[in-house]
Amino acid sequence: MSEKAKLTLGDKTIELPVFTGTEGEKAIDITKLRAESGYVTIDSGYMNTGACTSAITFLDGEKGILKYRGYEIEELAEKSTFTEVSSLVITGKVPTADELKSFEAKIAEHSKIPAAIETMIKAFPKDAHPMGVLSSNLSALSAFYPDLLVQDLTEAQRSDVILQLMGQLKVLATSAYRHSQGQSAIKSDPKLDYCSDFIHMMTGKEVDKEVAKALDILLILHVDHEQNCSTSTVRMVGSSKANPFATVSAGVDALWGPLHGGANQAVLEMLEEIHKEGIGYKEFLTRVKDKNSSSRLMGFGHRVYKNFDPRAKIIKKACDSVLAKLGVKDPLLDIARGLEEVALQDPYFVERKLYPNVDFYSGIIYRALGIPTNMFTVMFALGRLPGWMAQWKEMIEQPGFKICRPRQIYTGELNKKLNR
């Protein structure tokens, strides 16, 4: 007999079905709760809410496991490439060599933007944050494809939009960066792989293979992370069948915040501050533990991981080898290592199960690769795009698809009158 949960409200008992995922996770299905009882649920910060079912990513925060489409992140980071993982996440299966070639060729074909957007990029102040510029330009791109109505798109057209976004995001990000440096944009080179092309378009320099490989691993680690803030935003906005460019623009905005993707920039700024001011690790930790202070140990803690973030483990290892291969000696890496060591022994962090997350070491690698600090979150967006769009496509194609529209419980004033 299938498992059921019983909820007693006064003298009424309601049976709620229990839904079990393929990895054994369980959820109480409350789809009929309101209709049968008149009640809704309250779950601030969605700490207990499964907003959807999804076959894309599995993560076990207690054990520190992350898998895309059933493949462990460790194996993908070691043996795959960003474009292959993107295709896997979007389509659900590892592409054949021919499929991957065609996937990459389509991204290359789309790696250009309308001339008017190029002009628009040049109109932004040079010191604008690249995430703001990226989001605005993505939103502006929607104006160039007015016929892109989600409800009318075929499956093939939905896939094509994703590849178009992967190509165009690369151009938008690098062109905005070049503008901020007072330099003109560099055209995409279809002969280069995705990461080499990105680095070439950004720097104009010949690309070191080690640098491109390191960036490729970082992007693989960022591809998807189930229902995080930006992915949930993409699902929420996309559920109104909004234009896909506008939908991704909203995802970029959500990612930008320091509690989410913006943490990678915040970590580096924190490490720089410690370095510059010569603050001791223990002294710094006292500051972040103080409830009267708003500062946190950036790059530590996670809503889901209550153990090591498996991505952080891979990045920490990659960090050592990338810096060694590039011959970079970075004092910030020593500070990060020292802070981590002290924090992991501190009862405050131990009791709250706060471990380094993906952002703790990623900035040090980006820095070693020559990527400026305010571009870090853009790199995250570049990596996360295939995950956002895989989730968008999955949602649109799921039977029983509905617009996302949570409920609330009103706690405001009653029966007020203007008395005019």
Q: How far is CA 49 from CA 5, 33, 59, 336, 406, in A?
A: 16, 14, 15, 34, 11
158 lines the binding site for ligand COA (CB under 6 A) = no
Q: Is there a contact between 340 and 360 (Cβ–Cβ < 8 Å)?
A: yes
Say if residue 131 is exposed, middle or buried (CB neighbours under 10 Å; 0-12, 13-18, 19+).
buried
Per CB under 6 A, the list member of 224, 226, 359, 394 interacting with ligand COA is 359
- The rounded Cα 397 to chain-centroid distance in angstroms is 21
* 302 labelled catalytic: yes
Q: Which of 219, 107, 121 is nearest to 167 (CA)?
A: 107
383 lines the binding site for ligand COA (CB under 6 A) = no
Q: Among 193, 253, 346, 359, which one carries the catalytic annotation?
A: 359
Per CB under 6 A, the list member of 106, 275, 296, 306 interacting with ligand COA is 296
Q: Which of 83, 109, 111, 78 is nearest to 95 (CA)?
A: 83
Q: Is there a contact between 214 and 322 (Cβ–Cβ < 8 Å)?
A: yes
| Pairwise CA distance, residues 359 & 214, whole Å | 15
Q: Which of 96, 30, 59 is nearest to 357 (CA)?
A: 59
Q: What is the closest distance, in whole angstroms, from the C-beta atom of residue 155 to ligand COA in the complex?
A: 32
Edge-to-edge strand ranges of the sheet holding 4-9: 4-9, 12-20, 26-28
Q: What is the closest distance, in whole angstroms, from the C-beta atom of residue 288 to ligand COA in the complex?
A: 5
Q: What is the closest distance, in whole angstroms, from the C-beta atom of residue 289 to ligand COA in the complex?
A: 6
Per CB under 6 A, the list member of 95, 167, 238, 301 interacting with ligand COA is 301
Query: Of 28-57, which residues contact ligand COA (CB under 6 A)?
Result: 45
Instruction: Find the radius of gyration of the CA atoms of the chain.
Output: 23
302 lines the binding site for ligand COA (CB under 6 A) = yes
Binding mask 221-260 for ligand COA (x = CB under 6 A): --------------------------------------x-
| Pairwise CA distance, residues 346 & 287, whole Å | 13
Stretch that binds ligand COA, among 183-191, 322-330, 357-365, 386-394 (CB under 6 A): 357-365
Indicate the Cα dihedral angle 90, 93, 98, 102, nearest 10°.
Answer: -10
Phi, psi of 318 (to 5 degrees): -60, -35
| Pairwise CA distance, residues 314 & 318, whole Å | 6
* The token pair that represents 230 in the structure block: 């930006």
- Please enumerate in sequence order all residues whose Cβ is within 8 A of that of 53, keeping only pairs 6 or more positions apart, or say none: 19, 21, 398
299 lines the binding site for ligand COA (CB under 6 A) = yes
358 lines the binding site for ligand COA (CB under 6 A) = yes
Q: What is the closest distance, in whole angstroms, from the C-beta atom of residue 265 to ligand COA in the complex?
A: 11
Stretch that binds ligand COA, among 158-166, 169-177, 189-197, 292-300 (CB under 6 A): 292-300
Per CB under 6 A, the list member of 26, 34, 101, 352 interacting with ligand COA is 352
Between 39 and 348, CB nearer to ligand COA: 348
392 lines the binding site for ligand COA (CB under 6 A) = no
Per CB under 6 A, the list member of 131, 163, 220, 263 interacting with ligand COA is 263
Stretch that binds ligand COA, among 14-22, 174-182, 193-201, 356-364 (CB under 6 A): 356-364
Stretch that binds ligand COA, among 61-69, 178-186, 210-218, 296-304 (CB under 6 A): 296-304
Q: What is the closest distance, in whole angstroms, from the C-beta atom of residue 62 to ligand COA in the complex?
A: 14
* The token pair that represents 84 in the structure block: 């292959």
Between 194 and 300, CB nearer to ligand COA: 300
* The token pair that represents 416 in the structure block: 């007020």
Stretch that binds ligand COA, among 12-20, 59-67, 301-309, 398-406 (CB under 6 A): 301-309
339 lines the binding site for ligand COA (CB under 6 A) = no
SS3 179: helix
Stretch that binds ligand COA, among 75-83, 124-132, 293-301, 386-394 (CB under 6 A): 293-301
Between 100 and 279, CB nearer to ligand COA: 279
Question: Total residues at the site for ligand COA (CB under 6 A)?
Answer: 17
Q: Which of 312, 387, 419, 313 is nearest to 162 (CA)?
A: 387
Q: Among 222, 302, 309, 346, which one carries the catalytic annotation?
A: 302
| Pairwise CA distance, residues 223 & 239, whole Å | 21
* 189 labelled catalytic: no
| Pairwise CA distance, residues 191 & 105, whole Å | 9
Binding site for ligand COA (CB under 6 A): 45, 259, 263, 288, 296-303, 352, 354, 357-359
Catalytic residues: 302, 359
